[in-house]
Structure 1
Amino acid sequence: MEAHGDTAEEEKDEEEEEEDGVRVTAQLLKATTGEFALESILLLKLRGRGIVHLGCLGDCSNLEWLDLSGNSIVHLGPLAALKSLAVLNLARNRVANLEPLASCPNLQSLNVAGNLLRSLQQLRCLAGLRRLENLRLRDPAARLENPLCAAPAYRAGLVEMFPQLKAVDGERVSGRGSELYQLCRDLDSSLGRGAGGSGGSEPPGAAQPWVDAAFWEPRPSRRSSIMDEAYRQFGEVVQECRELSRRADDTIAHAERALGGRSDPSSYVF
């Protein structure tokens, strides 16, 4: 009975704080984004606004990127309507229930570092989010974590619960959700089999070059027969042009001499 009384008292305190804190309104959203219609908002940053209640945030039906970090948010109910939401930052809030996020099928990246999540069971509601690849519960640089991070094996539990995860707490997952890890493991196995073929008793020989030693040496340029023929024909054309020019000069000189021996042209009658 005493525990139930404490829970009821905590919920009452939270409701009172919600009444005193900032509530998300259409006016707040339009003033922040400059959009006239809430459906037009695709990216929204409401960091450190003292927000307690999410209000009409669910009306931003096309929202894809949302930053609510550094507030005092407890309840996430309005976020269940955000079907297009892909990136959500809830760091440094007071969230202990993530169930509304189970209705966000496109969620890919979720940051809930610095909240009140006490056990992995509180995350099981997100198991249906097949696109969730990046999950952060702890941020050492910002000194943020959840109570469940005190368990030494919580990361392994997350990987088991969400096999599609590629990053946990900002670090690459070395488990089933990491294609890079699988690729490296397969490569190591392949190299191991190659070394085992020689019995493993002898060290590997020196690496052999992929190409001949003289492959990268510059080679002397050679003119092809086609180029040689082109040069020959070009020389012949130049020679013909010079001959034509010489003949033209001779003809012009002969004409000038012939005209120089005539009398005044004005005496001719036409």
Structure 2
Amino acid sequence: MTLGAICPSVCLSVRPSIHPIPPPHSPPPRCPSVPVLLPVPLPLHHHGNGRRSRGGHQEPPFGRTARMEAHGEKGEEGAGLRITAQLLKASSGQFALDSILLLRLRGRGIADLGCLGDCAHLEWLDLSGNSISQLGPLAGLKQLAVLNLSRNRVSSLEPLGSCENLQSLNLAGNLVSSLQQLRCLAGLRRLESLRLRDALGQLSNPVCAASAAYRAALAEALPGLKAIDGERVSGRGSELFQLCRDLDGSPGAGPGPAPPRAAQPWVQASFWEPPPPRRSSIIEEAYKQFGEVLQECRELSRRADDTIAQAERALSVRTDPTGSFVF
């Protein structure tokens, strides 16, 4: 009798790869069941950065920390994100912050501008749709020309007074409550366009509702502006806006409707008459040359007729009583 016939579990425990074959015409022996041993999980170890790994092995420096650096860090109170160098590089595709010229961070939930001031050569910046209230880091952006801060929580604009190259500023949908808060922009000599209200996007500021004539006061405080809320206040096109504004207010300005005036023609009476023919010296010279060529053609035709007649007389073989020649 083989060892496997006595107890198959012994063979399984000694050589797991060998399966015993019971002898023929004999019932399989019975033996007690062998308990199944499950792997015991290794203890969890803590690392200094708060991550845990099994067996005490150090995990690679990826995961939540790297994701936070790439997408911005969470604020202390969880109110919004903070701009980091990794976020700026990932958004712009640049390896150095001073190489970034254009940056779009729209709708990222940003509350802290962080190291945005390190982008010293930034020229175009879109921060719309965030939770920004402090603009301190923007004071170092000396090359910034276009800035979009719509739909934020900005009330103080003092840092923007250092952006000496700023030309276009969008503040629609913020917390600017008085014209005094805009006095800091008076030193920006290149500022031409300022928007505090966006009717299409239904965005405004408290100053727009507090002062009905805030545009006129703003144009007086900032005489360099050429457009306020998208409307021209000086330069080409400003007269058209003023005319439209006057037309809008004309029905209610007088005591009653103005009497209709007689219809006037759109054009003068002689507008549709064809102009008289004009013959310049060039046309006269062309007619003269054409007449000379035509005269030469007639002379050549006469000479050709004479030559043909002479040839017919020379080649005639008989005399025709009618005077014609046959050849």
1:67 Cα deviation after fit: 1.0
Q: In the alignment, what sits opposite 1:65?
A: 124
Q: For residues 94 and 181 of structure 1, what CA distance do their matches in structure 2 show?
A: 31
Distance, in Å, in 1 between the alignment partners of 2:288 and 2:98 is 73
Give the secondary structure class of the aligned counterpart of 2:166.
Answer: coil
Match of 2:218? 158
Task: Report sequence identity in percent.
Answer: 58
Partner of 1:141, secondary structure, is: coil
The answer on whether the counterparts of 1:81 and 1:104 sit within 8 Å (CA) in structure 2 is: yes
Q: What letter corresponds to residue 192 of structure 2 in structure 1?
A: E
Query: In terms of Rg, which structure is larger?
Result: 2
Residues of 1 paired with 2:223 and 2:135: CA distance?
A: 25
Asked whether the 8 Å contact 2:129–2:150 carries over to 1, the reply is yes
Bigger proportion of residues as helix: 1
CA shift for structure 1 position 49: 0.9
Q: Give the conservation status (yes or no) of the 8 Å contact 1:63–1:82.
A: yes
Query: Relative to structure 1, is the Cα distance of residues 239 and 39 closer, same or farther in structure 2, using a 3 angstrom cutoff?
Result: farther
| Superimposed CA distance per residue, residues 20-75 of structure 1 (whole angstroms, 9 cap, x where no aligned partner) | 52222333233323334433333222110111222222232222221100001121
Residue in 2 that maps onto 1:21: 80
User: 1:125-144 residue pairs with structure 2 within 5 A?
Assistant: 125-144=184-203
Structural RMSD (CA): 4.1
Provide structure 2 residue ranges, at least 5 long, that are not aligned to the other structure. Answer: 1-74, 243-262, 310-327
**Structure 2 partner of 1:172:** 232
**CA contact under 8 A between 1:127 and 1:161: conserved in structure 2?**
yes
Q: 1:34 aligns with which of 93, 101, 108?
A: 93
Q: Give the AA of the match of 1:165.
A: L
TM-score, normalised with respect to structure 1: 0.64
The residue that corresponds to 1:97 in the other structure is 156
Distance (whole Å) between structure 1 residues aligned to residue 148 and residue 272 of structure 2: 55
2:205 corresponds in structure 1 to 146
Normalised by the length of structure 2, the TM-score is 0.54
Query: Which residue matches 2:108?
Result: 49
Structure 2 distance, partners of 1:246, 1:131, is 86
Unaligned runs of 5+ in 1: 1-14, 186-205, 251-270
Q: CA deviation at 1:105?
A: 1.0
CA-to-partner distance for each residue in 1:118-156, whole Å, 9 max, x for gaps? 222221111111222221222233222222223134333
Q: Which moved more, 1:61-70 or 1:154-163?
A: 154-163
User: Structure 2: how far apart are the matches of 1:24 and 1:107?
Assistant: 22
Alignment of 1:178-257 (within 5 A): 181=238, 213=270, 216-220=273-277, 224-238=283-297
